[in-house]
């Protein structure tokens, strides 16, 4: 059916009404202190939960740490399309349009109330916003129906040259007539539309401003002076960082450290308001505030973290110097019951992660981290407090924005990722990566440095080997490391000859077990296989 002037205006009315609904919803979310109840955030979170595993992995591979921005953009794009269709339908049947607005409000409310840690009050932003959007749509529809009278004959229009149908429609909209000449009150529509846009913009801006003020933790973080560690990190041995072009630095800068989580809005909690509750299968419950945690005698350690979603040769791994309180000491004070085999940690945003109790208690440097590379934790990496447990993938150990530790059993409670089919305990697998040369890089014949990093946290790396074109394995030179909890740089001197070549690498841990050749995707317990690079030597 060809577009007509009133239907174009109706589509615009639907878009304006959606803007009013979102703006008012943002304001209500700010007023009730429930940022996660904002419709776009709530729906986006529900989409993440419902997204098939293969699609999540594709998004991480394709967009990396920009996956959340892409998701929010996609949600908004779908909303725009639905708003346009709703407005166009409402011109012909107001009930259909209002039903569309109501449906969108209900979807937002259901998404908000079903998020972890939500309550009935979290339906308010979507419902109030939906009501405001419906009112705006009704007001915008009135001028569009003003000039349409039952039984009226369409006005006669002058003929136009062939091929000018689209010009007719646009001109009709600007003149306040549809293609058949039926008029509507264009001036009233434009004035009402401008007023609605102003309401949506002001409400949205006020809501975002209130949210920023409520969530602003920059001042809190800047005011923190971290105490000197009671146990400082071991000095890095000379040569730990080989400082080769293209090779990852031994310590990853905070701005470059990978971030993978489900938080569409980064949770922001001030140090003053932070509390940690330890409860469940313990002899005594403990609650800590931030100052008490800092006074516990902090330790400083270099530890490498790895995401289970990391592909062979992937970038979702990084090493940092962490400062934090030993987690095992706190659990001993609480008195963990012998059969409590899981530490279920909860984030401020409701995320749950299950960590094997035995691993935390076996003597390794499992930390309630407050510092990263000499400064308070960055907000995006978990400020005020996060967990760091060497030897486990992050999905079973590295809870950001930590607020609760519940001692329980794996048989009784499944954490977020385990509910979705990932392995229960997640020990790190031996892995290496070729950083340089790059894939399909063109090299000059002669001596070439093939270099990378290898990791098997809390076991360590004893050997890295490289082979060219499927030939014999040759040993690479390893850089020294401060402990088994970090990755290890390596370099192999290759006498490159002209032609196309395939480089492969494999690492071996202290048990003598080399990294497996068998290729496996990250799901359900981490990727396996040998990294390879194809290069051209001229």
pTM to 2 decimals?
0.73
- 365 and 326 in contact (C-beta within 8 Å)? yes
Please report which confidence band the pLDDT of residue 478 belongs to, taking 50, 70 and 90 as the band edges: very high
- Among 320, 207, 312, which residue's Cα sits nearest to residue 529? 312
Output the six-digit token pair for 361. 């208690």
- 301 and 233 in contact (C-beta within 8 Å)? yes
Full DSSP string of 47-64: HHHHS-HHHHHHHHHHHG
- Pairwise CA distance, residues 257 & 251, whole Å: 10
Q: Does CATH place domain 254-419 in 3.90.420.10?
A: yes
pLDDT at 169 over 50: no
- 35 and 211 in contact (C-beta within 8 Å)? yes
Please provide the size of the chain in residues: 538
- Among 57, 63, 64, 511, which residue's Cα sits nearest to residue 318? 64
pLDDT, one tens digit per residue, over 347-401 is: 998 899 999 999 999 999 999 999 999 999 999 999 999 999 999 999 999 999 9
Q: Find the largest Cα–Cα distance for the chain.
A: 92
In the prediction, which pLDDT does 214 show? 56
pLDDT at 151 over 80: no
Contacts of 180 (CB under 8 A, 6+ apart): 4, 154, 155
Give the three-state DSSP class for 80: helix
The more confident residue out of 170 and 289 is 289
- Pairwise CA distance, residues 516 & 507, whole Å: 9
Q: What are phi and psi of 239, to 5 degrees?
A: 90, 5
Helices (H), 159-299: 165-175, 186-215, 218-222, 290-294
- Name the pairing type of β-strands 375-376 and 367-372: antiparallel
Average pLDDT, the chain: 87
Burial track 162-176 (b if 16+ CB lie within 10 A, e otherwise): eeeeeebbeebbeeb
Considering the domain 431-537, what is its CATH architecture?
A: Sandwich (2.60)
219-223, 308-312, 323-327, range with the lowest pLDDT? 219-223
pLDDT, one tens digit per residue, over 254-287 is: 999 999 888 877 888 999 999 999 999 999 999 9
Q: What are phi and psi of 223, to 5 degrees?
A: -80, -10
Give the three-state DSSP class for 537: strand
Arithmetic mean of pLDDT, 156-161:
40
- 181 and 5 in contact (C-beta within 8 Å)? no
Q: Which residues sit opposite 466 in a β-bridge?
A: 474, 505
In the prediction, which pLDDT does 315 show? 94
Arithmetic mean of pLDDT, 245-251:
97
- 320 and 373 in contact (C-beta within 8 Å)? yes
- Pairwise CA distance, residues 436 & 99, whole Å: 58
Output the six-digit token pair for 215. 């969530």
Output the six-digit token pair for 209. 């401003």
Helix, strand and coil percent figures for the chain, each rounded to 5: 40, 20, 40
Arithmetic mean of pLDDT, 124-129:
88
- Pairwise CA distance, residues 362 & 371, whole Å: 23
1-10, 103-112, 279-288, range with the lowest pLDDT? 1-10
Q: Which residues sit opposite 478 in a β-bridge?
A: 490
39-43, 64-68, 255-259, 314-318, range with the lowest pLDDT? 64-68
pLDDT at 343 over 50: yes
Instruction: Kindly list the domain boundaries of the chain, sorted by start residue.
Output: 5-215, 254-419, 431-537
- 296 and 340 in contact (C-beta within 8 Å)? no
Please report which confidence band the pLDDT of residue 60 belongs to, taking 50, 70 and 90 as the band edges: low
- 26 and 125 in contact (C-beta within 8 Å)? yes
In the prediction, which pLDDT does 163 show? 44
Q: Is the preceding omega at residue 270 within 30 degrees of 0, hence cis?
A: no
pLDDT at 244 over 80: yes
């Amino acid at each position: 059916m060809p577009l007509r002037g009133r239907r174009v205006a109706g589509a615009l009315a639907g878009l304006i009404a959606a803007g009013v609904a979102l703006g008012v919803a943002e304001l209500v979310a700010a007023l009730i202190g429930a940022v996660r109840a904002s419709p776009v955030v709530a729906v986006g979170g529900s989409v993440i939960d419902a997204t098939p595993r293969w699609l999540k992995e594709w998004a991480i591979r394709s967009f990396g740490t920009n996956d959340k921005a892409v998701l929010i953009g996609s949600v908004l794009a779908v909303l725009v399309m639905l708003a346009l269709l709703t407005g166009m339908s409402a011109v012909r049947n107001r009930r259909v349009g209002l039903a569309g607005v109501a449906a969108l409000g209900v979807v937002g409310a259901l998404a908000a109330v079903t998020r972890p840690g939500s309550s009935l009050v979290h339906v308010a932003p979507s419902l109030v916003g939906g009501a405001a959007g419906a009112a705006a749509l009704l007001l915008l529809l009135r001028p569009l129906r003003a000039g349409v009278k039952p039984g009226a004959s369409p006005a006669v229009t002058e003929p136009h040259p062939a091929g000018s149908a689209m010009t007719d429609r646009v001109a009709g909209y600007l003149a306040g007539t549809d293609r058949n000449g039926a008029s509507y009150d264009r001036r009233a529509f434009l004035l009402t539309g401008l007023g609605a846009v102003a309401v949506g913009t002001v409400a949205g801006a006020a809501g975002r401003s209130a949210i920023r003020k409520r969530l602003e933790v920059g001042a809190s973080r800047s005011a923190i002076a971290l105490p000197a560690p009671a146990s400082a990190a071991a000095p890095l041995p000379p040569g730990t960082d080989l400082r080769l072009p293209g090779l990852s630095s031994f310590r990853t800068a905070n701005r470059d450290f990978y971030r993978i989580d489900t938080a569409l809005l980064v949770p922001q909690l001030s140090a003053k308001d932070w509390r940690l509750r330890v409860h469940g299968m313990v002899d005594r419950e403990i609650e800590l505030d931030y100052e008490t945690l800092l006074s516990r005698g902090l330790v400083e350690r270099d530890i490498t973290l790895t995401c289970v979603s990391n592909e062979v040769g992937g970038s979702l791994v990084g090493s940092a110097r962490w400062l934090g309180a030993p987690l095992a000491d706190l659990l001993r004070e609480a008195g963990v019951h012998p059969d409590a085999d899981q530490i279920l940690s909860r984030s401020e945003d409701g995320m749950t992660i299950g960590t094997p109790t035995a691993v935390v208690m076996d003597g390794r440097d499992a930390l309630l981290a407050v510092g990263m590379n000499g400064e308070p934790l960055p907000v995006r990496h978990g400020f005020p407090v996060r967990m760091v447990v060497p030897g486990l993938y992050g999905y079973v150990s590295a809870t950001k924005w930590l607020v609760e530790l519940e001692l329980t059993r794996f048989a009784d409670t499944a954490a977020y990722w385990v509910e979705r089919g990932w392995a229960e305990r997640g020990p790190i697998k031996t892995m290496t990566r070729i950083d340089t040369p790059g894939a399909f890089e063109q090299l000059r014949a002669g001596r070439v440095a093939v270099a990378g990093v290898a990791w098997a946290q809390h076991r360590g790396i004893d050997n890295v080997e490289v082979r060219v074109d499927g030939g014999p394995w040759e040993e690479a030179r390893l850089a020294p490391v401060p402990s088994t909890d970090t990755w290890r740089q390596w370099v192999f001197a290759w006498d490159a000859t002209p032609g196309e070549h395939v480089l492969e690498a494999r690492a071996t841990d202290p048990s003598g077990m080399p990294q497996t050749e068998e290729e496996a995707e990250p799901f359900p317990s981490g990727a396996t296989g040998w990294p390879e690079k194809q290069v051209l030597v001229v």
